[in-house]
Structure 1
Amino acid sequence: MKLSQLRTIVAIHEEGSFAAAARVLGLAQPAVSKQVAHLEREVGASLFVRAPDGVRLTEAGETFLVEARHILELNERALASTRAVARIERRALHIGFAELLKPHEQWLADATTALAGREPRLDVVSHRLSSAEQWRALDARRIHAGVGYGEPDGHPRIATQHLAEVATRTVLLPDAHPLAGASRLSFRDLAGLPLVLFPREVNPPLHDRILAGLRERGLAPTLRGGMHSQLAGEAAVRAGHGWMLALEGDAPPGLAARQVDDAPLTTALTLWWRADETEPSVLSLVEMGPHRARSSLPLPRSTVH
């Protein structure tokens, strides 16, 4: 049974004859008669009888007409709904993602997968940006949300949510350095070595927090800049150019990971968004943030920005 056959039955009833229905449908009359004959064989009953003024429905035809109209109405409704959905443009959610946040990518993957499940027409677009670049992009409305470390000082329009605390008292040293084998180690013992750290403009609050925390622990470090990536920092330490902060875990090849006796340095993995944001997908991300952080966040290997 085809929709075209159902339309033929409705047209014959409304027009009163096979010939008139054929004209309305743009078909030859034999084609209309053939469709009716096929339907009558399929349902096992006559649908029309001849009348002095044309044709009329049989009792079986009356029943069939009601159902045919219902099916055609459902078909039109399905088409209209589908076309309406198709006209809705896909929306994009732009999320900033700090370059050295790679160990925490699972959180973002889980969160965006959950968002896609809630909103099938949502495209999540990730942008590799430093923390400071994310804050500027949020202020300019170029991204909807961002993930990084610390607090966006000087950006009052940005709201924050801590996803996980990050604490470390682990340092990376060249594996051949004398301090790598020392029985005890404090931050003060590192005074003769430069600290390999990301440039301040990448994340000023975190940069300042690290230096202030080290000063509180008795170390006013000299800095070796240029740590624009995790691998670049590790390479600088491996080459003997200084030391760097890390979190607990296996040391990369050529490096030694040592814990100092001092109190750990702390910061937080943070979700950022505009305080006046009304985009539902952003609010959903904020809502699910802490739960997904607790369930899926591994600790990163190094202090990131």
Structure 2
Amino acid sequence: MVLLFRNLALLLAILLPQTVQAELVTKYDPVIYDPEVPEIVAIVGTIDARTPLNFSRALEEMPRATEVILASDGGSVLPALTIAREIDRLKLNTTILPDTGCYSACAFLFFAGNERASSGELGVHQISSDSGDLESGQLALSDMMDVLSDYNVPDDVIVDMLRTPPEEMHIYTPEQLATLGIIGTSSSRVAKPTTPTADMSKKDLAAAFVQDFNRLWSLPNAQAVDTLAEKYALTVNYYGKSLTNFAVIEDKRAFAERWPLREYLIEPGSTAINCDELTCRVETIVAWQTSAPERGARSRGRALQSLTLVWNGSGFRISVEDGTVLERQ
């Protein structure tokens, strides 16, 4: 929450251009707007029981609004879900500005956006019921899961949300949001992983996972390394050694720093997959090329990539990684 109001001046500059002398309307706090900027409303502050009504009132006075700027530390879950539904119904866009944040219950509003954009922070964690009793918490969780499903939120994000205690916050950078497919238009965002069905078998999902794994490893360092952490189990048999997820990512980070430009492509027809109830073993041939312009170094070749994937109920994680260089040029 440290970023929440650090750049409130930027928010005010957007809502209140220097050429306009009008003042921001704050009577529907935490919903604010500038009548001279009819396309934008903002939610700046904590979401409580009155916020859905105030949001509706503000939109009645700003019927041309197409974008909701979010700078909130969260608040009550059910009011946030109500606002999210309204954002979705009206096909409003949601935005997090640089040096600001949208945390906790505010995330539901962001996910509801027809087009999502972020240059700041998005933070998620477990929900806690306002009343504190188990039954209310279960109902709130059920409502939350329905909303996240409707907005096509990736399973990885839902897992992060459920695993992060209420007193902590799992924060995504703009680069991570882009990689996860959270930002963009509703038609261009990446769909969340699908569970095996008659139409898409576990082998199909394993093949797609390995394809995506190599695609991510080919991205620039800032996007590739941290994103790969979500692809590995907590403990990995990594080229014959038992390593923690953190140790694997540190090894990947060291390699990425040595070879900042990478491209890994699966050779068509080279993939073999064998699955049982819980795991899939995937062997495929990958053509790779790496370079380090600052060192004037290049490397390319072909390798047999061997991965064992463990199904955790919502997606695969790598439990074993091994490989053999077949050709080096």
Q: TM-score range by the shorter chain?
A: under 0.3
TM-score normalised by the chain length of structure 2: 0.22
Structure number, greater radius of gyration: 1
Greater relative contact order, per chain length (Cα 8 Å cut-off, separation 6+): 1
Query: Structure 1 or 2: larger helix share?
Result: 1
> Higher strand proportion, which one?
2
TM-score by length of 1: 0.23
